[in-house]
Amino acid sequence: MKAALFTGKNQVQFTDLPDPKAGPGQVVVDVKASGICHTDYEVLKDNYGTGAFPVVPGHEYAGTIVDVGAGVSDFSIRDRVAVDPNFECGTCRACKRGWAHLCESLGAYGVTVHGGFAELSLIDATNVHPIGDMSFLQAALAEPMGCVLNGLDAVHGPWMEEALIFGAGPMGLLMGLALKSEGVANVTFCDISDERLELASTFGFDAIASASDALGTWHHRADLVVEATGAPSVASNLTNYITNGGRGLFFGVCPADAKIEIAPFEVFRRQLTLAGSHSLNHNIPRSLKVIAGLGSQADHVVSHQLPLTDVSKIFASAPPHGSLKVQWTND
């Protein structure tokens, strides 16, 4: 099979690998769509995961089952599925509390073992979920939407009316769409890119430039403020925009060594809730339902669909200019 392979730190090859065969409890998926994520670049830089090189990246993917191992009764050949990439130890404190995404030895397809940037992917049958007639483009958004929903579970409340999201990239837009689907009336985006702000407007969101006077009108105003840029300078100012009793979510991936200052008295006096969010917590079925409810709006989060041969080139350089979610597709 053809695959994009991380052979070592900052080393990418487009290569041939042996076709996988399903063992007991496993299935082989013919990958039809797989999304590029910021995490993939961090894996390549050996900043995330266990440095398990060589590894096929890709943890946002969907496809068709082409081989079923012994003992698998819930799936058959030709079933259309989305992949939940995470697998946990099941015995650590976090796992026992139902927080699989916080497992002390968390593994993931595309991070610690081969993932979705290959023609075929060997997966435990418990990590795939049926998608019915949903397009593979949309089904490959199930993992990032799962991350969004996990974040919202940490901060959402029935009183939420206004949300301010810093960062109108694909994850920020999925966050905005999820908030709208949950009934949040006013979702506003702030970004440094006029191009991305214009795109956010096409989804029906309000949009303001980060250097504009309009941002000042959000001082101590938003019920929820989401940092979806991964920029420490943005994260450090999050509390400036949270209303009294409101919540802030650190959702973007800041550098591991970044530090910010937060005034504890302000958090105390204004009773602010600040939360972080990591990955998804086995919520792919819920994610698929949300995506199905979005209809064609979900399609517009994907700006580029490319052949697998181009994936290695993108990892060796950068995503296409002005791109949102980039997928390789074999559909």
305: confidence class by pLDDT, cuts 50, 70, 90: very high
311: confidence class by pLDDT, cuts 50, 70, 90: confident
Provide the pLDDT for residue 105.
Answer: 95
33 and 135 inside one domain: yes
CA–CA separation, 56 vs 154, rounded Å?
A: 31
Provide the pLDDT for residue 300.
Answer: 95
pLDDT tens column, 180-239: 999 998 999 999 999 999 999 999 999 999 989 999 999 999 999 999 999 999 999 999
DSSP string, 99-142: -GGG-TT-EEBTTTB--SSBSEEEEEGGGEEE-TT--HHHHTTH
List the domain range (segments joined by +) for residue 115. 2-141+301-329
104 and 204 inside one domain: no
75 and 187 inside one domain: no
54-58, 289-293, 315-319: range with lowest mean pLDDT: 315-319
76 and 157 inside one domain: no
Go through 139-160 and write b for each residue having 16 or more CB atoms within 10 A of its CB, e for each that does not: bbbbbbbbbbbbbbebbbeeeb
124 and 63 inside one domain: yes
Provide the pLDDT for residue 151.
Answer: 97
Task: Return the sign of the alpha-carbon dihedral for residues 262, 153, 299, 138.
Answer: positive
130 and 6 inside one domain: yes
| Mean pLDDT across 101-124 | 97
Provide the pLDDT for residue 94.
Answer: 97
Provide the pLDDT for residue 319.
Answer: 86
Provide the pLDDT for residue 159.
Answer: 82
Nearest partner of 14 among 249, 220, 309, 293, judged by Cα? 309
What's the total number of domains in the chain?
Answer: 2
pTM value is: 0.96
DSSP string, 269-296: HTT-EEEE--S--S-HHHHHHHHHHHTH
pLDDT tens column, 120-151: 999 999 999 999 999 999 999 999 999 999 99
CATH number at residue 169: 3.40.50.720
154: confidence class by pLDDT, cuts 50, 70, 90: very high
Is the pLDDT assigned to residue 320 strictly greater than 90?
A: no
Cβ atoms within 10 A of the Cβ of 271, count?
9
Q: How many helices (H) and strands (E) in the chain?
A: 11, 17
170-181 and 284-294 helices cross at what angle (nearest 10)?
Answer: 80
**Residue 73 covered by a domain:** yes
Is the pLDDT assigned to residue 99 strictly greater than 80?
A: yes
27 and 94 inside one domain: yes
| Mean pLDDT across 311-323 | 86
Percentage of residues in the chain having pLDDT higher than 90: 90
Is the pLDDT assigned to residue 4 strictly greater than 90?
A: yes
Higher pLDDT, 185 or 269: 269
CA–CA separation, 94 vs 26, rounded Å?
A: 25
**Residue 270 covered by a domain:** yes
Is the pLDDT assigned to residue 51 strictly greater than 80?
A: no
Joined together, the tokens standing for residue 79 give 């079933």
252 and 136 inside one domain: no
Beta bridge partners of 12: 6
| Mean pLDDT across 166-179 | 97
Is the pLDDT assigned to residue 1 strictly greater than 80?
A: yes
Beta bridge partners of 5: 13
Is the pLDDT assigned to residue 326 strictly greater than 80?
A: yes
Provide the pLDDT for residue 27.
Answer: 98
157: confidence class by pLDDT, cuts 50, 70, 90: confident
Beta bridge partners of 193: none
104 and 193 inside one domain: no
**Residue 60 covered by a domain:** yes
> Which long-range contacts link 310-316 to residues 24+ away (Cβ below 8 Å)?
311/4, 311/14, 311/36, 311/117, 312/4, 312/12, 312/13, 312/14, 314/36, 315/4, 315/6, 315/12, 315/36, 315/40, 315/41, 315/44, 315/57, 316/12
Provide the pLDDT for residue 322.
Answer: 83
